[in-house]
Amino acid sequence: MKTTLLIKNAGQVVTSRGASDKPLTGAGLGKVTVIENGAVAIGSDKILAVGSTPEVLKKITPARGMQEVDAAGKVVLPGLVDPHTHVVFGGSREHELSLKLQGVPYLEILARGGGILSSVEATRAASKEELVQSGIEYCRQMLAQGTTTAEAKSGYGLSTAAELKTLEAVRDVGRSQPLDLVPTFLGAHAVPKEYKEEPDRYVDLIIEEMLPQVVEQNLACFCDVFCEEGVFSVEQSRKVLEAAREKGLGLKMHADEIAPLGGAELAAELGAVSADHLLVISDQGIEKMASAGVIGVILPGTTFYLCEDHYAPARRMIEAGVSLALATDFNPGSSPNNNLQLIINIACLYLRMTPPEVINAITINAAHALGREKEVGSLEEGKKADLTLFDAPNYEYLAYRYGSNLISSVVKNGELVVEVE
Ligand code: IZC
Ligand code: ZN
């Protein structure tokens, strides 16, 4: 295969290698390969070679019209992977900011019919085309900030028609712009107001009506549940997830975020791919996730934005052998941020994760959390040519600077899709 795009002279090319079978844990999570004066050769949409610039130049056969990018002064990473987002939704919730500043807790705003339920109203009122348009706009922002693959959950429809509309919008957003979306069905995001007095009937609706159609129409890879006090209990979550597993979907959970219900234990028992949030995870939950190989997806931007007084115990989880990934949790309420670069800073400063741990958590381990580890998440021969180039002298600089978009270019499927002058 001839080289169609060559990235050369990079200050550093930084990636994990050989971790496409199992997510990184423990000391392995803290290691990255750093190639000084690095290069990446790309043929069509695949990576052909990664190494030092002289090594790669020796190996390649240029295609006619081969594009070259001089990456001197840049750090090259794999395209970033955001494994937990709610990127397709109607409306926004800035009107709830004043309630929040008066100290009204997140779950109290939801109990009053606001929060998620306010986004449900806006999402139900939006046409599929409107959801697609706003989803495309958010994905363009994400791509410009270095994200090349992201999860996208439903969960603001909460009726069969509106959940299907959302997942169709996710599919169409994925087809309309370069960022790859991995769809997750989150019918169990909240109990809609028409089922307020009979939540178990809503659980039945999810299992008997929504799930079969979602699976039949091939609209989701994963099923997720918001297992939380006043939202869905452990027993209700178990019912939904067991039904989803039976239909062949991978499992995810919003677990142990605000009240310690034992979501992590349930995720381990059911063999979920990931359990997400985990601020109040128990020691037993940590142990069970480690032995079951459930990935912990930590969302420190949400902890920051909810002004919580403590973050998920990332260090304890790493020491116990849990594999960690990081995500933005982009959503209209608890985390209106879709920039993984900010998550790098918050994870280093408040989760006390090292820069190599954070890089692995937003690349290869994040790819594992989406079942895309064979395709993306590292710079290795044969993988998709998804790359980010940052204006930075070394990778630590990404954790040091904050609040600016340091992207200089993004390559998606072998094409330069973002170029900052
Ligand atoms: O819209 O508030 N936690 N789901 C669970 C969310 C936050 C999203 C939202
Ligand atoms: Zn979420």
pLDDT tens digits for the chain (421 residues)? 999 999 999 999 999 999 999 999 999 999 999 999 999 999 999 999 999 999 999 999 999 999 999 999 999 999 999 999 999 999 999 999 999 999 999 999 999 999 999 999 999 999 999 999 999 999 999 999 999 999 999 999 999 999 999 999 999 999 999 999 999 999 999 999 999 999 999 999 999 999 999 999 999 999 999 999 999 999 999 999 999 999 999 999 999 999 999 999 999 999 999 999 999 999 999 999 999 999 999 999 999 999 999 999 999 999 999 999 999 999 999 999 999 999 999 999 999 999 999 999 999 999 999 999 999 999 999 999 999 999 999 999 999 999 999 999 999 999 999 999 8
What pLDDT is attached to residue 114? 96
Distance 385 CA to ligand 2 centre (A): 28
- Span from the CA of 402 to the centroid of ligand 2 (angstroms): 23
Determine whether the shortest distance from the Cβ of 118 to ligand 1 is under 6 A.
Answer: no
Ligand 1 in reach of 254 Cβ (< 6 A): yes
Q: How far is the CA of 372 from the centre of ligand 2 (A)?
A: 19
Cβ contacts of 246 within 8 Å, gap of 6 or more: none
38 close to ligand 1 (CB < 6 Angstrom): no
CA dihedral of 281, 282, 287, 290, whole degrees rounded to 10: 0
Look at the alpha carbons of 393, 398, 400, 403 in this order and tell me if their dihedral is positive or negative: positive
C-alpha 409 to ligand 2 mean position (Å)? 28
CB proximity list for 400: less than 8 A, separation 6 or greater: none
- CA of 156, closest atom in ligand 1: 1
CA–centroid distance, 110 to ligand 1, in Å, is 9
Q: Is the CB of 162 under 6 A from ligand 1?
A: no
Which residue, among 388, 393, 286, 374, has the nearest Cα to 340 in the 3D structure?
388
Provide the pLDDT for residue 421.
83
At 151 the three-state DSSP class reads: strand
Which ligand has its closest atom nearest to the C-alpha of 329? 2
Rounded to the nearest whole angstrom, what is the distance from the C-alpha of residue 310 to the centroid of ligand 1?
18
Torsion of the alpha carbons at 271, 272, 274 and 280, rounded to the nearest 10: -80
What is d(CA 296, CA 323) in angstroms, rounded to the nearest whole number? 6
Does the beta carbon of 84 sit less than 6 angstroms from any atom of ligand 1?
no
SS3 411: strand
Q: Which residue has the tokens 């180039």?
A: 389
Burial string for 197-224 (b: 16+ CB within 10 Å, else e) reads: eebeebbebbbeebbeebbeeebbbbbb
State the ligand closest to the CA atom of 184: 2
Q: Which atom of ligand 1 is nearest to the CA of 110?
A: 2
The CA dihedral of 321, 379, 49, 381, to the nearest 10 degrees, is 60
3-state secondary structure of 221: coil
Is the beta carbon of 333 within 6 A of some atom in ligand 1? yes
Ligand 1 touching residue 334 (CB < 6 A): yes
Ligand 1 atom nearest residue 302's Cα: 7
Ligand 1 neighbour 86 (Cβ under 6 A): yes
Q: Which residues contact 415 (CB under 8 A, 6 or more apart)?
A: 5, 45, 178
d(CA 318, CA 263) in angstroms, rounded, equals: 18
Q: Which residue is closest in CA terms to ligand 1's atom 7? A: 334
Strand partners, 40: 7, 50
Contact (Cβ atoms closer than 8 angstroms) between residue 247 and residue 268: no
Of 284, 88, 120, 243, whose CA–CA distance to 190 is shortest? Answer: 120
Place of tokens 């982009």: 330
**Residue 332 CA, closest ligand 1 atom number:** 1
Which ligand is located closest to the Cα atom of residue 335?
A: 1
Interval between CA 66 and ligand 1 midpoint (Å): 45
**Does the model's pTM come out above 0.95?**
yes
Give CA angle at 84 (79, 89), nearest 5°.
110
